[in-house]
Homo-oligomer: A and B are copies of this chain.
Amino acid sequence: MQEILDEIAQTMAAEIDRGKVADYIPELSIIDANQFAMSVALPDGRVYSAGCAEQLFSIQSISKVFSLTLALGKLGDAVWANVGREPSGDPFNSIVQLEHEQGKPRNPFINAGAIAVVDAIMMGHEPKECLAEMLQFVRYIANDENIHIDDKVALSELSCGHRNASLAHFMASFGRLHHPVDKILGVYFHQCSIAMNCQQLAKSGLFLVSEGVNQSAGYRVVSAQRARRINSLMLMCGHYDGSGEFAYRVGLPGKSGVGGGILAIAPGKASIAVWSPGLDTIGNSKLGTLALEMLVQRTGWSIF
C-alpha cells in the first residue's frame, strides 16, 4: 500500500495541469495549488500516507457527510421531509431546481440541501451550541480530539455568502426552514470551515467502511443499513454535477469539497482521503480524482 501511495504522489507531483483553486472564498483563494496529500485508513487502524498528509485544509462540503450523519442520528427519516435523495443535474449552487420543486432541495450534498440539514440539526438551539455538538461529533467519528474550526475561513465565507443566503431565504419562503436564516448560515459556514489533514479525514470515514462501526476505535457510529445508505448518497450525489463521471472513473462513494479534499469509501476495504487544492470546472479536486482513479486501478477496490 505504501508503495502504491508513493507512486501516486510522485505521479501527481509531475502533473502540470493542476486545476484552479476556488477563488470565491478569499481565504481559500490564497492556498498554494502545488500541494498534494493522500491517506488510506484501514479498518484495523493502520493509516498509510503520502505527500503533506499532516497539512490542515478546509474540508468544506465534505462536512455535509458528517452533518447528514448527525441529523439522521437525531431525527431519523424525518430528515427527508425537507430534502430529497436524487442527483440534481445542476451545479452545486443552483436555485432553478428549488423553484421547480417548491423549495425542497434534491439531496443533502448540494448547498441548499446541506442548509436544510443544518436547520434540522439545530432543533431550537443557538448556533454556538449547535456548532459545539457538530464539532464533538466529528471528533468522535474520527476518534481525534484535535479537530478544530478555522474561524478565519468561516468569516471569509460569511463575507461572500450571498448565494447561500439566497438559497436559504428561498427555502424559508416555502416554510422549509425553522430557524432564522442568519443563524442557520452562521452554523453552515462554520461547519464548512472545519480544518482537517488527510490522516484525520481518512480516519473519520472508517465507520462507513465497516457497516457503521469504527473498528479501530471500537465503537459503532450508525447501523449497518444507515452506513450503506450514506455511501449510496455519496456515490449518487457526492460530486455535484460530476457525480456520474466520478462513479464512472473511480467507482467509489465519495464526497468532495471546494477546499480540494475528497473523502472516498471502499466498503469493507478502506477509507481514503486525498487533497489537492486545484479544482476542475465543476468544483471537484482535479488531482484528487486522478489519484483515486489510480488507486482503484491498482487495488481493484471499485464497487462495480
Contact = CB atoms under 8 A, between A and B. Distances in A.
A244 B267 CA distance: 18
B304 A229 contact: yes
A35 interface: no
B165 A87 contact: no
Interface stretch (A13-21, A60-68, A150-158, A232-240): A232-240
A85 B232 contact: no
A97 B248 CA distance: 21
Contacts of A97: 89
Nearest to A267: B304
* This chain's copy number in the assembly: 4
Contact of A106 (B85, B89, B106): B89
B228 A233 contact: no
Interface in A157-179: 162-163, 165-170, 172-173
A236 B229 contact: no
Given A95-B95, A228-B251, A304-B231, A85 B244 contact: yes
Interface in A90-123: 90, 94-100, 106-107
Main secondary structure of the interface of A (DSSP, over half): helix
A76 interface: no
Contacts of A251: 228-229, 232
A243 interface: yes
A99 B162 CA distance: 13
Contact of A244 (B96, B163, B233, B253): B233
A195 B293 CA distance: 38
Contact of A170 (B88, B162, B232): B162
A84 interface: yes
Contact of A241 (B86, B170, B235, B253): B86
A299 to B, nearest CB: 13
Nearest to A165: B169
Nearest to A245: B85
Contacts of A90: 89
Interface string A21-37: 00000000000000000
19 contacts: A85-B248, A86-B243, A87-B89, A87-B236, A87-B244, A89-B89, A89-B97, A89-B106, A95-B99, A162-B170, A162-B173, A165-B165, A165-B169, A166-B167, A231-B304, A235-B247, A236-B243, A236-B247, A237-B244
Among all A-B residue pairs, the 10 with the closest Cβ atoms: A89-B89, A162-B173, A87-B87, A166-B169, A231-B304, A86-B244, A228-B304, A163-B173, A166-B170, A165-B169
Interface of A: 84-90, 94-100, 106-107, 162-163, 165-170, 172-173, 181, 227-229, 231-233, 235-237, 241-245, 247-248, 251, 253, 267, 302-304
